[in-house]
Amino acid sequence: MNQQPPPVPSTPTPAAPPAPPPPRRSPWGWIFGILFAGTGAVVLLFIIFIIVSVGAAMRESGGMASNARNVHEQIVREGGRDKIAHIDLEGVISASANRGGRSMVEEFSRRLNAAVEDERVRGIVVRINSPGGEVTASDRLHHMLRRADARKPVVAYMDTIAASGGYYAACGSRHLMAHPTTLTGSIGVIMQSIKYGEMLDKLGLDFEIYKSGEMKDLLSGTRETRPDEIELVNELVGETYDRFLSIVAENRGKSLTELRGSPFTDGRIFSGRQGLDGGFIDSNGFIDDAYAKAAELAGVTDPTVVRYRTRQGLFDLFDPLAQAGAGKVEIDVSERLLPHLRSGVPLYLYPDAL
């Protein structure tokens, strides 16, 4: 009988040596990473600064692209090759610079010039929604529209409100159209000053004014206006009003005598329907009717209607940085974003619309 060999005693497995402690991480990796990120940020800011500086230099030297390249077209209605350009004139009329460093008058000029320069644009509709504003700015807009209308028919479409300076500007166009419910008119001039002398007296405050002439502090708020000052201001207002009447007379084919005797020129507002009845508006209608009228005046059928908007380019986006480079950054977060209409300045404005 075969005998089994005796079992071999098992040898115990030796215990594994303890794992060595993990190597200590050097802090230099984090330091180099932070330095690298900081260097990249500095380089990026430097590149942006170069772009802004070059853009500012190009603007100052007139090296920017043409008006057409600075304007964006939005198709309102598809049609044929010929186009009718829709341009908005909206808000208080002012030559004060806006957030992009340009005034609303300059922005409007860019869009209008682009429409005039585009050979496919055969007619222009300017939609006006404005209570008016500064006298000189309104006159500039009127001049622009007259000059554009000499090359292509311009139809002014008065929307919710086109009063005072808004109506003044519209008189540079070939045809004035308004919705029947539009508020327009307010043909006149307003100039005002705030008197706060009594309030200063109650606070125990006083002003010391040193002036070179009797009229140097004209319309000062610290005192009552003298009769000779009132006479001077009325002369200035009357002269500005006469210019307004001459603009209306030329556009409406009316005499100055007729206008002076009309209740429509005493500064009141009137509706689009009333304006049509009084001969201060050519027709009533909707914006589509304005497009059709522009096409009729241009002698085209089935045009494509495009709305012109100012294109915000790369340099416009960095305008706040350019201001920062000049040591000045202005951010306007007010709800109404109205321009600064100063006291004591003559205005073609319907103030109750503000």
pLDDT by residue (tens digit) across 237-273? 999 999 999 999 999 999 999 999 999 999 999 999 9
Q: Which helix (H) or strand (E) holds 229?
A: helix 227-252
pLDDT at 202: 83
Pick 69 or 130 by higher pLDDT.
130
Nearest to 149 by CA among 294, 282, 246: 294
Pick 197 or 233 by higher pLDDT.
233
Judging by beta carbons within 10 Å of its beta carbon (0-12, 13-18, 19+), is residue 23 exposed, middle or buried? exposed
| Alpha-carbon dihedral 319, 325, 327, 332, rounded to 10 degrees | 20
Annotated catalytic residue, options 216, 246, 255, 343: 216
**Is residue 269 assigned to a domain?**
yes
**Is residue 1 assigned to a domain?**
no
Strand partners, 176: 156
Confidence of residue 331 (pLDDT cuts 50, 70, 90): very low
pLDDT at 69: 58
Confidence of residue 60 (pLDDT cuts 50, 70, 90): very low
> Reduced to 3 DSSP states, what percent helix, strand and coil does the chain have, rounded to the nearest 5?
40, 20, 40
Pair 190, 346: CB distance under 8 Å: yes
Annotated catalytic residue, options 164, 173, 220, 271: 164
DSSP 156: E
**Is residue 23 assigned to a domain?**
no
**Is residue 58 assigned to a domain?**
no
**Is residue 61 assigned to a domain?**
no
Mean pLDDT across the stretch 83-107? 88
Pair 43, 50: CB distance under 8 Å: no
Number of folded domains in the chain?
Answer: 1
**Is residue 5 assigned to a domain?**
no
Judging by beta carbons within 10 Å of its beta carbon (0-12, 13-18, 19+), is residue 300 exposed, middle or buried? middle
pLDDT at 325: 43
164 classed as catalytic:
yes
The first and second tokens of residue 142, run together, are 């009127």
**Is residue 241 assigned to a domain?**
yes
pLDDT at 58: 42
Parent domain of 277: 67-193+219-311+341-353
pLDDT at 64: 34
Mean pLDDT across the chain: 81
Pick 45 or 95 by higher pLDDT.
95
pLDDT at 350: 75
Q: Above pLDDT 90, what percent of the chain? A: 52
216 classed as catalytic:
yes
pLDDT tens, position by position, 166-178:
999 999 999 999 9
Confidence of residue 199 (pLDDT cuts 50, 70, 90): confident
Asked whether the whole model's pTM tops 0.75, one would answer: no
Mean pLDDT across the stretch 84-103? 86
Strand partners, 125: 86, 155
User: Where residue 227 sits, what CATH number does that domain have?
Assistant: 3.90.226.10
**Is residue 93 assigned to a domain?**
yes
